[in-house]
A and B are shown apart, each in its own frame.
Chain A
Amino acid sequence: MSENIIENQVELIHESPLYAEHLFNIGNFSVTNSLLSSFLALVLVVFFGLVLRRRIKEVPGKLQSAVEMLIEALLDLFDTVTHSRKKTLLFAPLIISFFVFILLNNWLGLLPGVGSVGKVIVEDGHHVFIPFLRGATADLNTTLSLAIIGVFISHILGVVFVGWWHHFNKFINLKALMEIPKKIWRDPAIVLINPIKLFVGLIEIIGELAKVASLSFRLFGNIFAGEVLLVAMSAIMAFAVPIPFMFLELMVGAIQAFIFSILILTYLSINTTLENH
């Protein structure tokens, strides 16, 4: 046969876009690769939780004592934020759950196979590579929902701890308005000061939205940028060069999970304290 067969090289596009790639549909609900990864992390957490629960003994073995020491250290750290052991014990399960879930999701993005095993689809005439698994926190949806959950819980527990009226007055300070007629003949400047206090409270509402935005974008930006960095470094040279960047990503994953949890704890403890100016 003729040897002049021109091989048709198919050009494959490997890029990790800002949004997570759609894999398949369940009814009307689109399942993405980040969703699969976060379910995998969820299954891991639940599995280890249930399995290790049965192995807790009254006289601890080595692994159990190590974990107990770790939990003691964490509770002391939380005490420095809440200044109350009772509150720390109440909030610790929530905060440690955030920490473990986010840590697992951050580190799952580094495993071999995540981000590299996938399928090729044709989109707009280009062949695009879509991995089956991708780090869940590299998707803004995951981090945004975690941030919204955290801030909502801080408000709900704020109402539970200090009461609806006091919590409401932290934002729309009606108490200050109501005090004007009571104190006006003792301290006339209060006509000017208390309306200002009212508006300062209103600005706090915008502060709550800023909390959600900053929490979600901090985690998303760090993990997504880490992903892109690793891809870029591996493209330069796939063998020795990515090693220090993998260590960097391990550290960044742990630090960002820790910061997220400590910030949620801070917001919780601020909202659940009675403030007296």
Chain B
Amino acid sequence: MLENVMLAKALAIGLGAIGAGFAIGLIGAKAMEAIGRNPESTGKILVPMLLVSAFAEAVAIYALVIAFSIK
């Protein structure tokens, strides 16, 4: 039987990562679509895509910090 602390840590990061993973996948998918329609714009799309992915990832990082600080 898992102790409560371990269960809490696991749930914190596990559930937090779901939304972020989904969001980054969507961003990548839309970026791929845009590149597929217009391959020349790859350079222009790359930087905003990385920027927005970092924002989406930050939410998962908040969850990770909470997971680290539960004791």
Is A145 interfacial (CB-CB < 8 Å)? no
Tell whether A18 pairs with B68 under 8 Å between CB atoms, given A221-B58, A221-B61.
yes
Residues of chain B contacted by A228 (CB below 8 angstroms):
68
A228 to B68, CA, bound (A): 10
Say yes or no for A83: interface residue by CB 8 A criterion.
no
Interface size class of A (residues with CB under 8 A): 10 to 19
Interface residues of A in 233-277 (CB under 8 A from B): 255-256, 259, 262
Cβ of A101 under 8 Å from chain B: no
Contacts of A256 in B (CB 8 A): 54
- Min CB distance A77 to B, Å, is 8
Asked, given contacts A18-B68, A18-B69, whether A262 binds B62 with beta carbons under 8 Å apart, the answer is no
Please encode chain B, from 34 to 71, with 1 for each CB lying within 8 Å of some chain A CB and 0 for all others.
Answer: 00000000000000001100110110011011001100
B65 and A217 contact, CB distance less than 8 A: yes
CA distance A18 to B58 in the complex (A): 17
Interface set, chain A 211-246, CB cutoff 8 A to B = 214, 217-218, 220-222, 224-225, 228
Given contacts A18-B68, A18-B69, A217-B65, contact A262 B51 (CB under 8 A): yes
Question: Which residues of A lie under 8 Å from residue B64 when comparing CB positions?
Answer: 221, 225
Instruction: Give A255 to B61 CA distance when docked, in angstroms.
Output: 15
Specify the main secondary structure of chain B where it touches its partner: helix
Q: Could you say which residues of chain B place their CB within 8 Å of the CB of A220? A: 65
Q: Establish whether residues B51 and A221, one from each chain, have CB atoms under 8 Å apart when the complex forms.
A: no
Residues of the A chain whose Cβ atoms lie less than 8 Å from the Cβ of B54: 218, 255-256, 259
Indicate whether A218 sits within 8 Å of B51 (C-beta atoms), given known contacts A18-B68, A18-B69, A224-B65.
no
A-side contacts of B51, CB under 8 Å: 259, 262
**Chain A proximity of B5: nearest CB distance (Å):** 15
Distance in angstroms between the alpha carbons of A256 and B58 in the assembled complex: 10
Known contacts A259-B54, A262-B51; decide if A222 and B61 are in contact (CB<8 Å).
yes
A256 to B50, CA, bound (A): 10
* Interchain nearest-CB distance for B48 vs A (Å): 10
Name which of B51, B57, B61, B69 has the most chain A CB atoms within 10 A of its CB.
Answer: B61
Residue of A nearest to B63 (CB): A221
Closest residue on chain B to residue A256 by CB atoms:
B54
Complex alpha-carbon distance, A214 and B51, angstroms:
15
Please name the residue on chain B nearest to A220 by beta carbon: B65
Chain B contacts of A214 at CB under 8 A? 58
Smallest Cβ-Cβ distance to B54: which chain A residue:
A259
Q: What mask results when residues 8 to 22 of chain A are scored 1 for a CB within 8 Å of chain B, else 0?
A: 000000000010000
Question: Looking across the interface, which residue of chain B has its beta carbon closest to that of A260?
Answer: B54
Chain A residues with CB under 8 Å of B55's CB are 259
B50 engages A218 (CB within 8 Å): no
Complex Cα–Cα for A256 and B55 (A): 10
Tell me how far the C-beta of B52 lies from the nearest C-beta in chain A, rounded to whole angstroms: 10
Please report A residues at the B interface, Cβ cutoff 8 Å. Answer: 18, 214, 217-218, 220-222, 224-225, 228, 255-256, 259, 262
Q: List 24 A-B contacts (CB under 8 A).
A: A18-B65, A18-B68, A18-B69, A217-B61, A217-B62, A217-B65, A218-B61, A221-B62, A221-B64, A221-B65, A222-B57, A222-B58, A222-B61, A224-B65, A224-B68, A225-B61, A225-B64, A225-B65, A228-B68, A255-B54, A256-B54, A259-B51, A259-B54, A259-B55
